[in-house]
Amino acid sequence: MENTFRLAQRVEITNPVPDVDVRYGLYNNKEEAISSIPKKLRSEGLCVGVLESGKVVEYWWRAGVEDNDLVPRDLIDEAYLQSVEDFKESVTSNLNSIDKTLVKNGNAFEQFKTDTTKKITAVNELVKKDKKEFNEFKKDTANEFQRVDGLLEEFTQFKQQIAEESEIAFVFAVCGL
């Protein structure tokens, strides 16, 4: 490792300042911090303390070392947390929408089965003479029931897949990956 200062022992800090790095400051305003630290001494992640309304506000060079890259840490954290919250709300909303569609379609499938069963009963009365035609109708209807049940199962699996992928995406978003 070049550009390192190696110590064989631990270091005890005895001065009561918030940061060992002298560049931390405390600065009276953001402009003073920017003008006090030349670009060649800045790095992404470097923090400085700026007095605002009698309180220390921590700033950092978040995404570069240009003057406009110096931003308040708290604002970034809140913005990031808000984006994660927005993402969570979006996923939850989408899953709720899928739930409603599934319930709606599930009810529609059940209604379809009930209506078809009633029709089969009515047709059974009318078609007692021609058992072959009636049996074909029953077979076709049973196949339709299986197709509808299969669609409902696919929809349920799709919903589960979306939920799992959303959880993974949420973890990545929280971890900043």
Contact call for residues 60 and 47 (beta carbons, < 8 A): yes
Q: Evaluate if pTM is beyond 0.75.
A: no
Question: Residue 166: inside a domain, yes or no?
Answer: yes
Total domains in the fold of the chain: 2
Question: Residue 122: inside a domain, yes or no?
Answer: yes
- Looking at 35-49, 91-105, 107-121, which range is the least confident one? 91-105
Rounded (10°) CA dihedral 34, 37, 39, 42: -100
Structural domain containing residue 57: 22-65
Question: Same domain, yes or no, for 79 and 26?
Answer: no
The average confidence (pLDDT) of the chain is 75
- Listed in order, strand segments (DSSP E) in the chain are 47-52, 55-61, 70-72
- Looking at 57-61, 89-93, 128-132, 157-161, which range is the least confident one? 128-132
148 vs 128: CA distance, rounded Å: 27
Question: Same domain, yes or no, for 50 and 116?
Answer: no
The predicted model gives 143-164 an average pLDDT of: 75
**70-105 pLDDT tens trace:** 998 876 556 656 666 666 676 666 666 666 666 666
Question: Residue 138: inside a domain, yes or no?
Answer: yes
Question: Same domain, yes or no, for 47 and 82?
Answer: no
* 33 burial type by CB count under 10 A (0-12 exposed, 13-18 middle, 19+ buried): buried
Phi, psi (5° rounding) for residue 27? -110, 150
Contact call for residues 57 and 72 (beta carbons, < 8 A): yes
